[in-house]
């Protein structure tokens, strides 16, 4: 079997058996990237030499009976993770030439486990966007239809995995940035519990919402990677010292007795009919496997998007302040004075969407508006968390669609930020409440993938991964590959 | 000062906490390193880095809170204060805003009438320092040194309870003494470890409502603070009396010109857009933790001063001076030992000759060339009449020069006081015999001449005769 069609778990077994070397595997992936990377615009940086060197080292370790659980397995990092001595742009002109002097915790952990980094994937600028169109390096194309968006902000990671240019990729999710592109590209995307994975070295967008996760082809692959990434990190005060279970070992338990909650509002207006049907069918599969379906209520669901678009820009406006042209990143030529240095460096360095959010965030934190916006949003955020907590008293997971529609055309929503924001209507709640959530392939609508969205209580990654894994043992949606990339 | 006006002052003191590493990173806080050599990626505000609280600052703030009788908050929050400045790497300063770590507290000072006066402390909060912009020696450009960025500060905010520049300085000195007692700050004002801003306003005597205040910045010595406040008070009174109005503004004190001048008005000031820092968890402090910190509380300056008065019988003023620093007080106590009989004498020596010698050589008490035990040895030789107070000054100088203990020096220089009355009598007789004229005058009623005779005897004995004995013997002989 050709290497690129295999999942991460299959490749790991192949390496273990000695069917191929990590260098061979890496070269095979590099050939795929060379062939398709440009047409998809999935990468900002391709790390040919460094990847081969890492693969070589992995092979040597393996020969010596050494090496971590990911030894020799190729992956891709979203360009939001700082990678030592490698360009780290965050999809922005601001960091067009920024070579990070250090590795993010996520990068460090995966590398320590032996992963080989093929490159850095394209993304919405500073992770602000839902279509990958805000990237300074141009939009990523959806492998299922090159005229369509792969979603965002982790669009490059999702496209790379969907097109079999890499078996797995890291991503980050602030309002749906892993799950929405996973849904639109027929991949699996998991956003863990807030605090599960260290944020150190992950360039911040909205610190109280940002969480790192992975985009893979199967739940088993996600379990393998997440087990390495998860865990307490003393360099991130918001990471939590909570035991990390063996996610892979937890995949095999049956779904008998699993209580699945369905939110009625999720299937109301706004949801594409065929997408809803696909999700309902997936729920039938879960039921057939022994799960019970019950309706749950999230009364404040409608406030998720407005709450998010106060909290996230507020934090963003402050997080973006360090990009001032003084110490790193873009600096305007020949500034007249300090103000000119600031305004031109930032004016030139940031794109429109980032500026819009900085403006919004600055406004909601301003004297006289703070109480009405920021403080109010924090209160509503608490209500939303409370809704989830109550719901999880009677169910184990909450299921629904990941997105209201399948992939939309590039350029379709760029003129109307609000319509774009509404794409994250089902995913944002998990970020506001800090809950783990996963999106998995569950159908096709006119040749475009549909995602099933599952949200669990805090630290329920294991149950989310198991639910998807069991579902994938009965279905083939996740194996579907766009024809041009088989 | 014009007596029709009342001065109202509140101080914001920035105390640099004496931690080894910064408040949110592992970089060193040592002063004086080459620019930007003590700033790590966190201090530089690099993309992706995160702050991690140095727990030592929590202990220090807790200790301070307990020492001033404030409430140590069970939950306090770090907030971001957003503004742009080149020496502020992240574009925001991590500080505390709505929920500070210490709420309330008090400090007692002595006012102009000698009465004890309570000064309220509103709050004390933790924050990080910014870096420094450097303009000197750089042609048409500015440099930035971020070594200081992230240095921990405890900002201590007083109530507007101070009524004169003198009271302000007196309060400041007490806080300065306290933080050094608690060993939470080195209090070094030259290096900027202890600095303050003063909010100054005036109002007609008897008026309840506060006048508009000006905030004075850049006050980094006790002397400048007093001068700056006095200048500002005069400026405000003059302005109002000339029909003008004080505006709410920040003013910078220029010590060269001894004047304050406007830096920026509050209207054009930044909107700092404070909000809780999502990168840091709330600081939760348990009652057990507070008690554990309380158990480490050293004896505080006011308590120590009273004890010195009560236990050693010292004069209050002397006790105040000796308790001005923990090291000085320790030195005194070490020299005085358990006994109280020589305590005042030792206090006099410490405050007088010892302090003089230290100042002359630019040393602090920890580096005194005469140990506490040796000073006690010297005072003991005065008490037991081995040497006179006058000779003792020479002995002290020799000790300071490293010639040995008092006993060594007395021995090697033969300074032992003559107390043998037959030896003294021989000299006394000789002086009386050699000065018949003066003897006659004395006997004729000129009592003052006794000094002359004592002087002659002391001269003949190189000062070694016991002055009391000489005096008594001369009087006896001359009146017989």
The per-residue pLDDT for range B103-122, each reduced to its tens digit, is 999 999 998 888 999 999 99
pLDDT > 60? residue A188: yes
Same domain for B381 and B316?
yes
Name every chain A residue with its beta carbon within 8 A of the beta carbon of B279: 204, 207, 237-238
pLDDT band at B388 (very low <50, low <70, confident <90, very high): confident
Q: For chain B, how big is the Rg over CA atoms in Å? A: 30
Q: Which of B273, B291, B309 is the last residue of a domain?
A: B291
Touching B: A residues 318-347, CB under 8 Å:
318, 320-324, 326-329, 338, 342
If phi > 0 it is left, if psi is from -120 to 50 it is alpha, else beta; for residue B12 that is beta
> Which tokens hold the place of A259?
């209580």
Residue at B283 is within a domain: yes
Mean pLDDT of A181-202: 98
Least confident of A23-27, B91-95, B268-272: B268-272
Cβ-Cβ contacts under 8 Å, A237 against chain B: 50-53, 279-281
Tokens at residue A250, please?
A: 């937890």
For residue B374 the two structure tokens come to: 């040796």
Residues of B whose CB is below 8 A from A81: 48
Q: Which helix (H) or strand (E) holds B172?
A: helix B165-181
Q: What pLDDT, on a 0 to 100 scale, did the predictor assign at position A100?
A: 98
The Cβ-side half-sphere exposure at A406, using a 13 Å CA radius, reads 22
Question: In degrees rounded to 5, what are phi and psi of residue B196?
Answer: -145, 155
Contacts of B50 in chain A (CB under 8 A): 199-200, 235-237
pLDDT of residue B266: 59
Give yes or no for a contact between A362 and A407, defined as CB atoms under 8 angstroms apart: no
A323 CB neighbours in chain B (<8 A) are 47
Does B42 reside within a domain?
Answer: yes
Determine the distance in angstroms separating the CA of B81 from the nearest CA of chain A, rounded to an integer: 9
Q: Give me the domain span that covers residue B20.
A: 5-291
Decide if A151 contacts A132 (C-beta within 8 A).
yes
- Tell which of B48, B49, B130 to mutate to test the A interface (max A CBs under 10 Å): B48
Within B205-341, strands assigned E span 214-219, 249-254, 259-265, 275-276, 283-284
Same domain, yes or no, for B238 and B366?
no
**Mean pLDDT across chain B:** 92
Q: Is residue A78 annotated as part of the catalytic site, yes or no?
A: yes
Assess whether pLDDT exceeds 90 at residue B3: no
- pLDDT for A60: 97
Q: Which residues of A touch B134 (CB under 8 A)?
A: none
Which residue has tokens 């450097």? B134
Among B380, B413, B446, the domain-final residue is B413
How far apart are the CA of B144 and the nearest CA of chain A, in angstroms? 10
pLDDT bucket at A276, cuts 50 / 70 / 90: very high
Number of structural domains (chain B) is: 3
Q: Looking at A100, A130, A177, A463, which residue is catalytic?
A: A177
Q: Which of B478, B453, B479 shows the shortest CA–CA distance to B467?
A: B453
B437-450, pLDDT tens digit by residue? 889 888 888 888 88
Q: Is A142 exposed, middle or buried (0-12, 13-18, 19+ CB in 10 A)?
A: buried
| Of B259 and B277, more confident | B277
- Give per-residue pLDDT as tens, A10-63: 999 999 999 999 999 999 999 999 999 999 999 999 999 999 999 999 999 999
Angstroms from A458 CA to nearest CA on chain B: 18
Q: Which of B44, B48, B91 sits opposite A202 (nearest CB)?
A: B48
The reply to whether A177 belongs to the active site is yes
Q: If pLDDT is split at 50, 70 and 90, which confidence band does A207 have?
A: very high
Do B395 and B449 reside in the same domain of the chain? no
CA distance B130 to chain A (A): 14
- Do B94 and B200 lie in a common domain? yes
In a domain, B228, yes or no: yes
- Chain A residue with minimum CA distance to B146: A327
Residues B357 and B453 in one domain: no
Q: Which helix (H) or strand (E) holds B101?
A: none
What is the rounded CA–CA span in Å between residue A115 and residue A122?
Answer: 20
**Percent of chain B whose pLDDT exceeds 70:** 99
| pLDDT tens by residue, B403-426 | 999 999 998 888 887 777 788 888
Which residue is closest to A83 within chain B, CA to CA?
Answer: B48
CA angle B4, B10, B13 (to 5 degrees): 150
pLDDT greater than 90 at residue B340: no
From the candidates A21, A22, A78, A105, give the one annotated as an active-site residue: A78
Residues B278 and B375 in one domain: no
Q: Cβ–Cβ of A90/B273 closer than 8 Å?
A: no
In a domain, B282, yes or no: yes
Mutate: best of A84, A324, A361, partner B, most B CBs <10 A: A324
The reply to whether B296 falls in a domain is: no
Task: For residues A184 and B55, give the distance between their C-alpha atoms in angstroms, rounded to a whole number.
Answer: 45
pLDDT of residue B184: 98
Tokens of B406: 């008092």
Q: How far is B25 from chain A (nearest CA, A)?
A: 9
In chain B, whose CA is at the least distance from the CA of A337? B141
> For residue B327, what pLDDT is reported?
93
Nearest CB neighbour to A324, from listed B52, B91, B279: B91
Same-domain pairing of B387 and B444? no
pLDDT score of B138: 78
Task: Please tell me whether residues B317 and B281 are part of one structural domain.
Answer: no
Which of B21, B40, B50, B81 to substitute to test the interface with A, most A CBs within 10 Å? B50
Active site annotation includes A100: no
Query: Are B454 and B360 part of one and the same domain?
Result: no
Taking contacts as CB-CB distances below 8 angstroms, the residues of chain A near B46 are 100-102, 322, 327-328
Does A237 touch chain B if contact means CB atoms closer than 8 Å? Answer: yes
Nearest to B46 among A328, A342, A366 (CB): A328
Whether residues B407 and B472 share a domain: the answer is: no
Per-residue pLDDT reduced to its tens digit, A323-343: 999 999 999 999 999 999 999
Domains with residue ranges and CATH for chain A: 3-260+394-485 (3.90.1300.10)
Q: Is residue A66 predicted with pLDDT exceeding 90? A: yes
CATH for B463: 1.10.10.410
The pair phi, psi for residue B113, each rounded to 5°, is -90, 5
* pLDDT beyond 90 at B468: no
d(CA A107, CA A172): 13
pLDDT value of position B478? 85
A-chain CB neighbours of B275 within 8 Å are 314-315, 318, 365, 370, 374
Residues facing A204 on adjacent strands: none
Same domain membership, residue B170 and residue B81: yes
The pLDDT-based confidence of B268 (bands split at 50, 70, 90) is low
Question: Which chain A residue shows the shortest CA-CA distance from B274?
Answer: A365
With CA atoms as reference, the chain B residue closest to A334 would be B141
Q: Which residues contact A109 (CB under 8 A, 6 or more apart)?
A: A228, A229, A231
Confidence category of residue B341, pLDDT binned at 50, 70, 90? confident
Separation of alpha carbons B50 and B37, rounded Å = 20
Q: Does A204 touch chain B (CB under 8 A)?
A: yes
Give residue-wise pLDDT tens across range B234-253.
999 999 999 999 999 999 99
- Residue B241: inside a domain, yes or no? yes
| Percentage, residues of chain B above pLDDT 90 | 72
Q: How far is B124 from chain A (nearest CA, A)?
A: 23
- Indicate the residue of B51, B82, B86 with minimum beta-carbon distance to A338: B86
> Residue A250 pLDDT more than 90?
yes
What is the CB-side half-sphere exposure of residue B157 using CA atoms within 13 A? 14
Nearest CB to A237 within list B82, B273, B279: B279
pLDDT (tens digit, 9 = 90+) per residue, B201-236?
999 999 999 999 999 987 889 999 999 999 999 999
A178 alpha carbon, distance to own chain's centre:
2
Residue A200, chain B, CB below 8 Å: the answer is yes
Contacts of residue A23, defined as CB under 8 A and 6 or more positions apart, other chains included, come to: A52, A55, A56, A59
- Say yes or no to pLDDT of B269 above 80: no
Does residue A226 contact residue A214 with C-beta atoms inside 8 Å? Answer: yes
Q: Closest by alpha carbon to B458, among B391, B383, B409, B393?
A: B391
- Catalytic-role residue among A92, A153, A317, A345: A153
d(C-alpha A460, C-alpha A100), whole Å: 33
* B chain contacts of residue A200, beta-carbon cutoff 8 Å: 48-50
pLDDT score, position B121: 98
Q: What's the whole-number average pLDDT of chain A? A: 97
A140, A120 contact by CB (below 8 A)? no
**CB–CB of B375/B335 below 8 Å?**
yes
B200 three-state secondary structure: strand
Task: Enumerate the residues of chain B whose CB falls inside 8 A of the CB of residue A324.
Answer: 84, 86, 91
Domain boundary among B240, B264, B291: B291
- Provide the pLDDT for residue B267: 55
Instruction: Give the count of beta carbons closer than 10 Å to the beta carbon of residue B84.
Output: 15
What are B145's strand-pairing partners? B132
**Pairwise CA distance, residues A467 & A472, whole Å:** 9
A20 contacts chain B (CB < 8 A): no
Are both B287 and B370 inside the same structural domain? no
Q: In chain A, helix, strand, coil percent, each to 5? A: 45, 15, 40
Rg value, chain A, Cα: 21
Contact B149, B130 (CB under 8 A): yes
Return all residues near A34 (Cβ < 8 A) that are at least 6 apart: none
Which residue in B has a C-alpha nearest to residue A342's C-alpha? B84
> Which residues of chain B approach chain A closer than 8 Å at the C-beta?
41, 44-53, 80, 82, 84, 86, 89-92, 144, 271, 273-275, 278-281
Convert the pLDDT of each residue in B70-90 to its tens digit: 999 999 999 999 999 999 999
Among chain A residues, the shortest Cα distance to B278 is held by A208
The pLDDT assigned to B2 comes to 53
């Amino acid at each position: 079997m050709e290497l690129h069609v295999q999942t991460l778990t299959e490749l790991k077994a192949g390496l273990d058996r000695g069917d191929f070397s990590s260098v061979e595997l890496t070269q095979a992936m590099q050939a795929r990237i060379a062939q398709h990377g440009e047409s998809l615009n999935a990468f900002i940086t391709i790390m040919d030499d460094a990847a081969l060197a890492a693969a070589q080292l992995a092979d040597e370790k393996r020969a010596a009976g050494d090496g971590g659980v990911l030894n020799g397995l190729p992956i891709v990092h979203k360009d939001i993770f700082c990678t030592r001595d490698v360009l780290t742009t965050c999809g922005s002109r601001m960091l067009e030439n920024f070579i990070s002097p250090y590795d993010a915790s996520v990068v460090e952990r995966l590398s320590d486990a032996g992963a080989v980094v093929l490159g850095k994937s394209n993304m919405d600028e500073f992770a602000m966007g839902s279509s990958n169109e805000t990237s300074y390096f141009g939009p990523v194309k959806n492998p299922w239809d090159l005229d369509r968006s792969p979603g965002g902000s982790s669009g490059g990671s999702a496209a790379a995995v969907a097109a079999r240019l890499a078996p797995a990729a890291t991503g980050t999710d602030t309002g749906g940035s892993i799950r929405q592109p996973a849904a639109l590209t027929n991949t699996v995307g998991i956003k863990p519990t807030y605090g599960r994975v260290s944020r150190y070295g992950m360039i911040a967008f909205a610190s109280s919402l940002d969480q790192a996760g992975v985009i893979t082809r199967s739940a088993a692959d996600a379990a393998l990677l997440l087990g390495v990434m998860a865990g307490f990190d003393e360099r991130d005060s918001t990471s939590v010292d909570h035991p990390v279970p063996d996610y892979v070992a937890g995949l095999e338990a049956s779904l008998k007795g699993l209580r699945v909650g369905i939110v009625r509002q999720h299937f109301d207006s706004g949801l594409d009919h065929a997408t809803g049907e696909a999700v309902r069918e997936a729920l039938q599969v879960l039921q057939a496997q022994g799960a019970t379906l019950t309706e749950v209520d999230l009364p404040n669901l409608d406030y998720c998007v407005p709450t998010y678009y106060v909290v996230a820009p507020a934090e963003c406006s402050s997080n973006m302040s360090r990009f001032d042209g003084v110490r790193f990143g873009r600096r305007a030529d020949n500034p007249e004075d300090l103000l000119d240095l600031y305004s031109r460096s930032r004016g030139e360095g940031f794109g429109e969407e980032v500026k819009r959010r900085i403006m919004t965030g600055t406004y909601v934190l301003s004297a006289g508006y703070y109480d009405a916006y920021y403080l109010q949003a924090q209160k509503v955020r608490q209500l939303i968390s409370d809704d989830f907590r109550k719901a999880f008293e009677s169910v184990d997971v909450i299921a629904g669609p990941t997105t209201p529609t399948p992939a939309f055309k590039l350029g379709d929503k760029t003129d109307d930020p609000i319509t774009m924001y509404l794409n994250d209507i089902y995913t944002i709640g998990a970020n506001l409440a800090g809950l783990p959530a996963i999106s998995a392939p569950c159908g096709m609508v006119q040749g475009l993938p549909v995602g099933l969205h599952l949200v669990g209580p805090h630290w329920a990654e294991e149950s989310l991964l198991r639910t998807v894994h069991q579902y994938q043992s009965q279905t083939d949606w996740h194996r579907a590959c766009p024809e041009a990339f088989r | 000062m014009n007596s029709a006006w009342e001065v109202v002052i509140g101080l914001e003191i920035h105390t640099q906490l004496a931690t080894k590493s910064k408040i949110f990173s592992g970089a060193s806080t040592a002063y004086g390193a080459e620019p930007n050599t003590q700033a790590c990626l966190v201090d530089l505000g690099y993309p992706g880095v995160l702050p991690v609280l140095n727990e030592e600052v929590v202990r220090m703030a807790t200790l301070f809170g307990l020492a001033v009788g404030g409430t140590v908050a069970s939950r306090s929050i770090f907030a971001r204060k957003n503004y742009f400045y080149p020496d502020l790497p992240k574009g925001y300063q991590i500080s505390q805003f709505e929920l500070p770590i210490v709420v309330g507290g008090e400090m007692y000072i002595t006012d102009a009438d000698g009465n004890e006066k309570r000064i309220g402390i509103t709050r004390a909060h933790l924050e990080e320092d910014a870096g420094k912009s450097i303009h000197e020696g750089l042609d048409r450009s500015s440099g930035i040194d971020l070594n200081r960025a992230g240095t921990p500060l405890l900002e201590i905010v007083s109530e507007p309870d101070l009524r004169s520049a003198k009271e302000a300085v007196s309060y400041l000195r007490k806080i300065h003494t306290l933080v050094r007692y608690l060993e939470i700050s080195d209090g070094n004002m030259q290096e900027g470890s202890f600095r303050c801003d003063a909010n100054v306003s005036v109002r007609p005597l008897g008026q309840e409502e506060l006048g508009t205040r000006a905030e004075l910045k850049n006050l980094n010595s006790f002397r400048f603070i007093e001068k700056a406040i006095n200048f500002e008070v005069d400026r405000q009174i003059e302005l109002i009396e000339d029909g003008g109005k004080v505006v709410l503004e920040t003013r910078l004190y220029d010590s060269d010109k001894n004047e304050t001048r406007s830096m920026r008005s509050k209207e054009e000031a930044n909107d700092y857009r404070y909000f809780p820092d999502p990168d840091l968890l709330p600081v939760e402090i348990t009652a057990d933790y507070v008690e554990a910190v309380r158990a480490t509380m050293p004896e505080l300056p006011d308590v120590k001063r009273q004890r010195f008065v009560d236990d050693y019988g010292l004069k209050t003023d002397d006790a105040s001076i000796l308790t001005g620093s923990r090291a000085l007080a320790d030195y005194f106590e070490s020299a005085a030992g358990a006994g109280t009989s020589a305590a005042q004498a030792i206090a006099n020596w410490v405050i007088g000759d010892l302090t003089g010698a230290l100042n002359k050589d630019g040393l602090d008490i920890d580096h005194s060339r005469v140990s506490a035990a040796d000073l006690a040895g010297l005072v003991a030789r005065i008490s037991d009449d081995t040497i006179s107070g006058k000779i003792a000054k020479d002995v002290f100088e020799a000790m300071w020069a490293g010639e040995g203990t008092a006993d060594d020096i007395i021995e090697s220089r033969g300074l032992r006081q003559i107390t043998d009355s037959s030896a003294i009598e021989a000299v006394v007789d000789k002086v009386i015999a050699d000065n018949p004229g003066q003897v006659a005058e004395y006997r004729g009623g000129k009592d003052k001449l006794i000094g002359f005779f004592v002087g002659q005897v002391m001269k003949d004995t190189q000062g070694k005769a016991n002055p009391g004995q000489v005096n008594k013997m001369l009087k006896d002989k001359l009146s017989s």
